[in-house]
Structure 1
């Protein structure tokens, strides 16, 4: 994936072809970086396995193969052809490629879920990390699931299907606007409407952020007395996981209402403030409890 990212970055520089207004190599670049993070994290997680090692590593290998071989290969192949990879049913061949990517994504989702179940029963890591891994996996699975919403025909596409037409595309990531319109820098997320890719991205990368937060809390515990109890750090990880899941849901809700990321209405802002306040309140409650226990000489939660 790192090698593909370099090639795709070079493609953006030397290849001026575009699909829906963006360079043909932008999608392979984004997917390569995303899957590089995913596979590195997955390798690290399977390396923590103490029980059923061979099974866990086998599941991890199959999971990566299902995501990388069909999906990344087809995305790159379509970039070489100058074709749109997702939602492209303009020809029988393109339709087959879309279905192959979709089937691989479903199978990869199921294998990730299976891996999460096996990782729930590992004992090699400390409690904060032991909680962060499955929480991160399951929030990530929720983020992956948002991809399914993109495959449903839009209202205009459905009208065409009902009329017996054969649309060139089926599905979309934008809501309220057409794919390929004005986009945010680098990500190309819709700037004038909702975009399901935002919540998809945020949810997916809980897989990295939650275990990383547990590791950072462990490092901080060497200097901050309140964080030395494993129970305290575990509670903070759970609060963080709930907050990450809430943010994913909030971004999905915003996108489904056709609202641009940077133009939230009052209702979205209110929900965001409530979510942030709940997370802050949870963190404060955990730290206050830890301080009270420390004052009483309790060893921790």
Structure 2
């Protein structure tokens, strides 16, 4: 089943990303030390992936197709369009969209975005419930979809941490909340992403967690394609186990990035604690992956000897 509203929305988001990219090149205005069109560009690109993924998942459904179609349509109407419209409108005005409560109008715009984000979480959760209950022949994908949705919802939830007022902030000052921890929004940032290089930045974990929705199903597809060349991946049980390990590692990375940001530490300058935790995470995932791949090979090697 094709989902026309989601497909059209994805096309519109892709066009907006292109428009915003051109805007970055020709519009010299800056907001919080970033090009005024950077935020619309990033959100449009992210929503393009989000809507395409939902359209594909709904297209694969066998049950509750009508319900999923309506949930997808409502997601476009009440989540994607309102949030990106406010972000783009505020960019065109040359003012910040997030955490801006400086005027009654800006406060209203920020509340519209916040309401859309809450609805987006609820609608994604509802879509996830119906998508998880689908019957799937491909077992690795049956793991990838629910785990990707859970981690994606956790990544969305990081956005709520950003709305908490920082020390010294009041509505009278015109700003409530921030992306950064241990520093002010704006200032030195990484190319393209704009993530802070001088303080913790919750946008990193928000971005990484959010896109588990794409990463894990793509991994399941990639493993299925690799199985044509590598016999060790022919077993659906092996590929499923690899997807689960990857999901746990992905969730661990998302949590690590939240922990790093909350300590006021920039992604660009990780401390000893962060590096040690990351090394431990990599080691655990590597050991688990190696065990999953090697154990079936050893069993296969022993089988002829046992039957001889």
Give the TM-score taking structure 1 as reference length. Answer: 0.94
Q: Which moved more, 1:272-281 or 1:49-58?
A: 49-58
Following the alignment from structure 1 to structure 2, what is the Cα–Cα distance between the partners of residues 281 and 105? 38
Instruction: Determine if the alignment matches structure 1 residue 239 to structure 2 residue 239.
Output: no
Q: Which moved more, 1:95-104 or 1:165-174?
A: 165-174
How far the C-alpha of 1:296 sits from its partner, in A, is 4.9
Correspondences of 1:265-284 after superposition (within 5 Å): 265-284=271-290
- 1:296–1:57: structure 2 CA closer, same or farther, 3 Å change rule? farther
How far the C-alpha of 1:248 sits from its partner, in A, is 0.3
Instruction: Determine if the alignment matches structure 1 residue 131 to structure 2 residue 137.
Output: no
What is the total number of aligned residue pairs between the two structures? 292
Select 1:180's aligned residue among 186, 197, 201.
186
| 1:201-239 residue CA offsets vs partner (Å, 9 max, x unmatched) | 000000100000000000000111110000100000000
Q: Residue 112 of structure 1 aligns with which residue? A: 124
Instruction: Determine if the alignment matches structure 1 residue 198 to structure 2 residue 207.
Output: no
Following the alignment from structure 1 to structure 2, what is the Cα–Cα distance between the partners of residues 47 and 296? 43
Q: Residue 75 of structure 1 aligns with which residue? A: 87
How far the C-alpha of 1:262 sits from its partner, in A, is 1.7
Q: Residue 266 of structure 2 aligns with which residue? A: 260
| 1:26-84 residue CA offsets vs partner (Å, 9 max, x unmatched) | 00001000110111111111111011111112212222332221100000000111110
Q: Residue 153 of structure 2 aligns with which residue? A: 141
Instruction: Determine if the alignment matches structure 1 residue 290 to structure 2 residue 302.
Output: no
How far the C-alpha of 1:253 sits from its partner, in A, is 0.4
How far the C-alpha of 1:284 sits from its partner, in A, is 1.0
Q: Residue 5 of structure 2 aligns with which residue? A: none
Following the alignment from structure 1 to structure 2, what is the Cα–Cα distance between the partners of residues 2 and 297? 53
Following the alignment from structure 2 to structure 1, what is the Cα–Cα distance between the partners of residues 16 and 45? 9
Following the alignment from structure 2 to structure 1, what is the Cα–Cα distance between the partners of residues 204 and 79? 20
| 1:129-179 residue CA offsets vs partner (Å, 9 max, x unmatched) | 11101111110000000000000000121xxx4xxx612110000111110
Following the alignment from structure 1 to structure 2, what is the Cα–Cα distance between the partners of residues 71 and 104? 6
Following the alignment from structure 1 to structure 2, what is the Cα–Cα distance between the partners of residues 220 and 48? 22
Is the 1:66–1:105 contact (alpha carbons within 8 Å) kept by the matching residues of 2?
A: no
Following the alignment from structure 1 to structure 2, what is the Cα–Cα distance between the partners of residues 120 and 68? 22
5+ residue gaps, structure 1? none
Following the alignment from structure 1 to structure 2, what is the Cα–Cα distance between the partners of residues 148 and 291? 46
Following the alignment from structure 1 to structure 2, what is the Cα–Cα distance between the partners of residues 273 and 240? 15
Q: Residue 7 of structure 2 aligns with which residue? A: none
Following the alignment from structure 1 to structure 2, what is the Cα–Cα distance between the partners of residues 40 and 125? 22
Following the alignment from structure 1 to structure 2, what is the Cα–Cα distance between the partners of residues 296 and 62? 55
Following the alignment from structure 1 to structure 2, what is the Cα–Cα distance between the partners of residues 156 and 145? 24
Q: Residue 111 of structure 2 aligns with which residue? A: 99
Following the alignment from structure 1 to structure 2, what is the Cα–Cα distance between the partners of residues 52 and 4? 32
Select 1:227's aligned residue among 225, 233, 254.
233
Following the alignment from structure 1 to structure 2, what is the Cα–Cα distance between the partners of residues 125 and 119? 14
Following the alignment from structure 2 to structure 1, what is the Cα–Cα distance between the partners of residues 25 and 81? 25
Q: Which moved more, 1:52-61 or 1:32-41?
A: 52-61
Q: Residue 61 of structure 1 aligns with which residue? A: 73
Is the 1:140–1:206 contact (alpha carbons within 8 Å) kept by the matching residues of 2?
A: yes
5+ residue gaps, structure 2? 1-12
Select 1:44's aligned residue among 56, 59, 80.
56
Give the TM-score taking structure 2 as reference length. Answer: 0.92
The residue matched to 1:184 in structure 2 has which SS?
A: coil
